[in-house]
């Protein structure tokens, strides 16, 4: 890849913008519903509104709420609206962060610091997570020096509550459940986790990054959604991403705590800095006001009614997809996903080969492991493409079945190599090197040279 030189002279505005558009031609076509993750598009009306709100606050910085008092107001109001949706009482407070990962990082840091203060006898704090928990928890554990203890899943892909019970030790500080979890879209038994937390005097974080702004509406439409929020006495914090099913601009998530005392463990202060009394609520310094304004605007603009309408469409599309997939004998849905997030696997076909066959037809699907399956998140953008997708899926299944050798070299080979290397450390190092090569040199992302 040729290295760009620092431009000597500026280019014309039209030229700069035209170049951006030209560059974008290689990207996934999310607006046409060809991608099944990453972008949550609910149509032009709410998108324009969120964009306009962002632009009004383009230059603002929530790092200093004393200067941008209106941003403090937008943040507090957004958090209160979220707390209300999640049955938080008067005491529930929180922070807006840059995304689900930062919300999770902050929650883990909060509980580590709380345990340092309240349970100083604990030298190696442990957090019990389902193996299906979002990888941001692995990252948080790595960054903050806490130990993650992984609980296996039951046959329905929800965490095995008896296993969680057995894994509790005197070093446990926190339990985690997801509503829903990302890989298979099922909701962990949060009520049972809440009971355990209360019984054992432990904290419980619910990762509702994905489900926060869709589960309450699914429930209202008659879907089977068990309690997962502050209505349960053991839930001490909850993360919910506004840049997912709330349809705000990228870069905004909420982390909520049952009380303000807990939130203080999240804050960082440094009074001796020559730059002034330093206080920062979360991991980032500068906090883009635009993202916060877009979140506030989306909630205000759509309201409960607007989200119900969007959720109704997502549910219909999801039903069409699930029914269609269930009619394909080679495929099975994993568990009983209640929202627009699901995965399917196969007993007879290599699903990684199937992913490549779908990719040849213009679809971008996400591949998962342990067990091998393909992952889908349904948004309003998919309403018009569900039938086309099912038709292509049936064709792809027939193709892979008839000519598996044609699909043996792509993803099937990549994931085969990964499975052949038992040490996670080796695989992780290769993922890093392959990613680094891809970012600097381009080409494909592969495990070439991975020792077997």
List interacting residues with ligand PLP (CB under 6 A). 99-101, 104, 134, 136, 178, 182, 207, 209-210, 241, 253
Q: Looking at beta carbons, which residue is closest to ligand PLP? A: 100
Min dist. Cβ of residue 81 to ligand PLP (A)? 19
Closer to ligand PLP by Cβ: residue 212 or 410: 212
Alpha carbon 429 to chain centroid distance?
23
List, in sequence order, the alpha helices (H) in 132-267.
136-144, 161-167, 190-200, 215-220, 260-264
Taking the alpha carbons of 313, 390, 31, 136 in that order, is the dihedral positive or negative? positive
- Output b/e per residue, 143-170; b: 16+ Cβ within 10 A: ebebebbbbebbeebbbbbebbeebbee
User: In which element (H, E) is residue 257 found?
Assistant: strand 253-257
Min dist. Cβ of residue 409 to ligand PLP (A)? 31
Closer to ligand PLP by Cβ: residue 182 or 415: 182
Closer to ligand PLP by Cβ: residue 251 or 410: 251
Instruction: Report which DSSP code applies to 377.
Output: E
Min dist. Cβ of residue 376 to ligand PLP (A)? 13
Closer to ligand PLP by Cβ: residue 243 or 417: 243
Closer to ligand PLP by Cβ: residue 184 or 382: 184
Closest C-alpha to 154, from 177, 126, 136: 177
Closer to ligand PLP by Cβ: residue 283 or 413: 283
* 89 phi-psi bin (left φ>0, alpha ψ -120 to 50, beta other): beta
CA distance readout (Å), 383 to 45, 375, 440: 16, 17, 37
The CA dihedral of 206, 209, 212, 213, to the nearest 10 degrees, is 170
Min dist. Cβ of residue 383 to ligand PLP (A)? 21
Min dist. Cβ of residue 226 to ligand PLP (A)? 17
Closer to ligand PLP by Cβ: residue 57 or 182: 182
Cα separation of 209 and 180, whole Å?
8
Give every CB contact of residue 128 below 8 A, 6+ residues apart in sequence.
149, 151, 164, 167, 168, 172, 174, 175, 176
Min dist. Cβ of residue 216 to ligand PLP (A)? 16
Closer to ligand PLP by Cβ: residue 54 or 68: 54
Min dist. Cβ of residue 209 to ligand PLP (A)? 4
Closer to ligand PLP by Cβ: residue 135 or 408: 135
Min dist. Cβ of residue 69 to ligand PLP (A)? 27
CA distance readout (Å), 64 to 98, 176, 242, 278: 16, 32, 21, 10
Min dist. Cβ of residue 327 to ligand PLP (A)? 28
Min dist. Cβ of residue 43 to ligand PLP (A)? 21
* 10 phi-psi bin (left φ>0, alpha ψ -120 to 50, beta other): beta
Closer to ligand PLP by Cβ: residue 53 or 129: 129
Please give the backbone phi and psi of residue 253, each rounded to the nearest 5 degrees, phi first.
-145, 160
Give every CB contact of residue 126 below 8 A, 6+ residues apart in sequence.
146, 147, 148, 149, 169, 171, 172, 173
Closest C-alpha to 251, from 17, 57, 28, 26: 57
């Amino acid at each position: 890849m040729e290295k760009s030189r620092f431009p000597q002279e500026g280019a014309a505005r039209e030229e700069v913008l035209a170049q951006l558009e030209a560059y974008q031609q290689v990207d996934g076509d999310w607006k046409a519903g060809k991608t099944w993750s990453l972008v949550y598009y609910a149509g032009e009306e709410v998108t324009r509104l969120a964009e306009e709100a962002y632009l009004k606050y383009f230059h603002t910085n929530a790092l200093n709420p004393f200067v941008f008092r209106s941003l403090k107001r937008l943040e507090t109001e957004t958090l209160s609206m979220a707390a209300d949706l999640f049955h938080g009482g008067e005491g529930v407070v929180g922070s807006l962060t840059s995304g689900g990962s930062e919300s999770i990082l902050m929650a883990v840091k909060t509980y580590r610091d709380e345990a340092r203060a309240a349970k100083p006898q604990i030298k190696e704090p442990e957090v019990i997570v389902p193996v299906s928990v979002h990888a941001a928890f692995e990252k948080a554990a790595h960054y903050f020096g806490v130990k993650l203890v992984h609980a296996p899943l039951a046959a329905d892909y929800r965490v095995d509550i008896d296993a969680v019970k057995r894994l509790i030790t005197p070093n446990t500080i926190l339990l985690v459940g997801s509503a829903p979890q990302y890989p298979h879209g099922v909701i962990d038994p949060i009520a049972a986790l809440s009971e355990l937390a209360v019984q054992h005097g432990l904290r419980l974080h619910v990762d509702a990054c994905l489900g926060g702004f869709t589960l309450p509406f699914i429930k209202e439409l008659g879907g089977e959604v068990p309690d997962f929020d502050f209505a349960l006495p053991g839930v001490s914090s909850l993360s919910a991403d506004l840049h997912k099913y709330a349809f705000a601009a990228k870069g905004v998530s909420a982390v909520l705590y049952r009380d303000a005392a807990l939130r203080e463990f999240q804050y960082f202060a440094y009074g001796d800095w020559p730059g002034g009394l330093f206080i920062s609520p979360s991991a980032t310094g500068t906090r883009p006001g635009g993202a916060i304004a877009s979140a506030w605007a989306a909630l205000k603009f759509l309201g409960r009614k607007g989200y119900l309408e969007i959720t109704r469409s997502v549910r219909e599309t999801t039903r069409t997809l699930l029914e269609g997939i269930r009619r394909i004998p080679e495929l099975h849905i994993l568990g009983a996903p209640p929202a627009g997030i699901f995965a399917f696997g196969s007993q007879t076909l290599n699903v990684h080969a199937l992913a490549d066959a779908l990719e040849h037809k213009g679809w971008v699907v996400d591949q998962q492991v342990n067990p091998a399956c393909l992952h889908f998140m349904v948004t309003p953008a998919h309403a018009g493409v569900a039938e086309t997708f099912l038709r292509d899926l049936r064709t792809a299944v027939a193709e892979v079945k008839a000519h598996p050798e044609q699909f043996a070299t792509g993803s099937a080979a990549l994931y085969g190599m990964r499975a052949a290397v038992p040490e996670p450390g080796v695989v992780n190092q290769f993922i890093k090197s392959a990613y680094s090569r891809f970012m600097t040199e381009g080409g494909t992302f592969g495990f070439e040279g991975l020792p077997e």
